[in-house]
Structure 1
Amino acid sequence: MRPAICRHRLLYSTVALVVVAFLSVIRMNSQSNDCECPVPQKSTKPELHQSADVEIEIARRFATLPLDLLSADDQTRLLQNLMPDSMKRWSCNQDHAESEKALRSHPAMHSNLDGQEYFNRFIRVVRIFGWKRLENKTFLELGYGIALMTALLRGMNTTVYATEIQPIPWVPSRHGPFFDVMYDLVEKASKEDLGPRFHLEKAAAYGRQCGRGLPDVKELTTTMERLDGVPVASVDVSYSLAVLEHISELEPSFMALARVHRPGSLSCHQVDLRDHSDFAQPWEFFLTSDKDFYAKTVGGSQGHPYFGNRFRMSQFMKAAASNGFETVHVVRQHEPANPEGLRYAKEALDTLDRLPADTHKYSKWPRSDFNECTSDKMPQTGLFICFRYAGGGPLTNTEEPTCGQDVWYRSDFSLKVAES
């Protein structure tokens, strides 16, 4: 055992010497600034499109260093010089110790979306509602994730209540690349998209302060079923992306939304209706017994339906109506018609038909919630749905989306905002 201990000590000593040597070079460079050498002028405009892979690798390597061998000042100096500009810009320089801790505890920062895709999703939201519906309004963002939309909404002078069950720690290697892309794309965006009064620096300030201490942004750790911290009758617009398919109960969620929405306000949601464990077979979780499904999701280690809750469009509409929300816009989403998709729909529904209804509640469920009402009978895999809060109690005699029509609007509703 003794030789192994010696080898580990030698390894750590070697790494420590390398780090100390690196810091010595940094000190020498900082001292050399006293010379009259010409100093390159740095652009005040952020450098854009830093490689996220490089930053992730830096974060990973930083997390493996024996930092307990270094003083706090040396740790901070090392962090500052390891980080590329795109990380420094969004790292809250007043608190490097916290950034360092986040880097060490979250060394690998992977995401399925890049900055361009996040920005595209925000622009889609603005185009859906129209900037006139968002500017100077109160917006409830359900599941704010990396907070890029939160920052962009702030640039529209919008007051934002941003909720998340488990907030993502602010980590420069994760957030920096996204905010860099945001800065670049906002400069190129049209005024028709963002409105003539969009304030880029106000949006960027959210990132530079890591979302802290901003009076017009309230980040709340809460569930959709509770919405703790959101004032009563305060919300003009609410929005969620891939949230409604992960909640355990619909009724409490829409009850909470009704509590915080103003009469006449809008609530729109993008819902992924597929079984998340295998997107190629979107209806597999219906073939699981209700008892087993509950045990794997709500009763399992995740504590919520991580792979989807199985709720269908009619269930969302019913829960909304019982709490005063009218369905005003629906988009039934599905893959383009193809033989394999049509064959899968038939085989899955035939199997579901044969299962006992007392153990599989979706066995005899209306097929309008599966594929009967899509334009080409393909499996409905997603849903974009908007509600208007009418106020008061449960609604009756509300209009129903037309079967066979993928895009539907209520007769007295349009997403287009009248010109002022």
Structure 2
Amino acid sequence: MASKKLRLGPKASLPFKASNKEKRQNLHIKRKKAVDSTKRDERFRRRRDEDKDPKLREERLRHNVPLTLERKRVWDDVDRDTGDGLGVSVDVERMKKQKLEDDGQDRAESDDDSELLDGSDTDRDSMIDPASDSESDSNEGAKVEKPKQQSTKRTPTERATSPIHSTTSTNLDLTPEALALKFPTLFSQDPPPTPKILVTTSLNSTLHHEAELLTTLFPFSVYIPRSSHRYSHKFSLREISAFAANRNYTTVLVLEEDQKKPKGLTMVHLPAGPTFHFTVSSWVDGKRIPGHGRPTEHIPELILNNFRTPLGLLTAHLFRTLFPPQPELRGRQVVTLHNQRDYIFLRRHRYVFREKRASEKNVVGPDGKEVPGVEGLRAGLQELGPRFTLKLRRVDKGIQRSSGQEWEWKGGMEKVRTKFQL
């Protein structure tokens, strides 16, 4: 069907109903050909006009931006003080800016009040503003029109063309105070200790190769398989965490499987929790990635993207504790955790800086403008693997005997598709 904005020619104005089935089919084919011909003529005409005036093409591309779920994201309307806010979808950076603006406005109003109190007696006793009196004398007999206030409500097109923050790095310094007090081990002011990670699997698991890959992904980690022999003691997660905490481990990772594929990942922050439960999807080994590279033992750099809510900052701090704070830049390896629509995409690459080819464009920043100083350089990436996608399902209190009894946050079935938690 043609779009509503498209004006159809006389050829497309054909009857749509007929008693005979073959006639209806022929009429439908004729109408479809007429609509396609009209669309093609309009497309060629627009191309000729844009070749004459390039500004028309820029204007069309600026407005032809699809309204995705990320662009239509909604936030909860809350006050400045949200507490820990784990179940609230609120932009921490925006709230911080709003708080600074409100504090600056209150300070400016207090300064104005102090100036009025320090004024002379004549100014304080006068009931007529001298500035308004002079304006009334100069504009006597003239009608002054007040400027019309522009509406602040944006159209869907304007909202879609506004810049988004899906590629911005996470600012870990904007953590709410209540959240930092609730999880002091994750938000400690002291330098973080060197991570020491214990990787294991669920009972009767066959994911030994995938667990070994996790030890190459996270530095200073070791894999200990769980025995499923019928005469052996089957340790629980609480017992494993106590064993690891006594040996100065910082995190316990439990890889869960379903039909011999990774389907879950449980992260226990030692020594006293909390416990994070993730589901794993789209697991791809590095050897199956086209053009993959071989990872080295260098400590990688860590990039955290688009964690904006209090729950997102809590999750970002958890991933920060899995990597040492000082990466080895000589290895040129980087691990990226990108959050989009509450799905966390994990990728590991090796990068290299090379000269720009003649057919390539210059480096462009998030604002769409070229970055000065790197006109002749480009960055080449080689994925190392493994790659997978995480989705946070639950945050438990501490380390429990039976998981899910007491939880800090639990994901539910959201009826609003444009509301995200991270």
TM-score by length of 2: 0.20
Instruction: Specify which structure has the higher proportion of helix.
Output: 1
Instruction: Specify which structure has the higher proportion of strand.
Output: 2
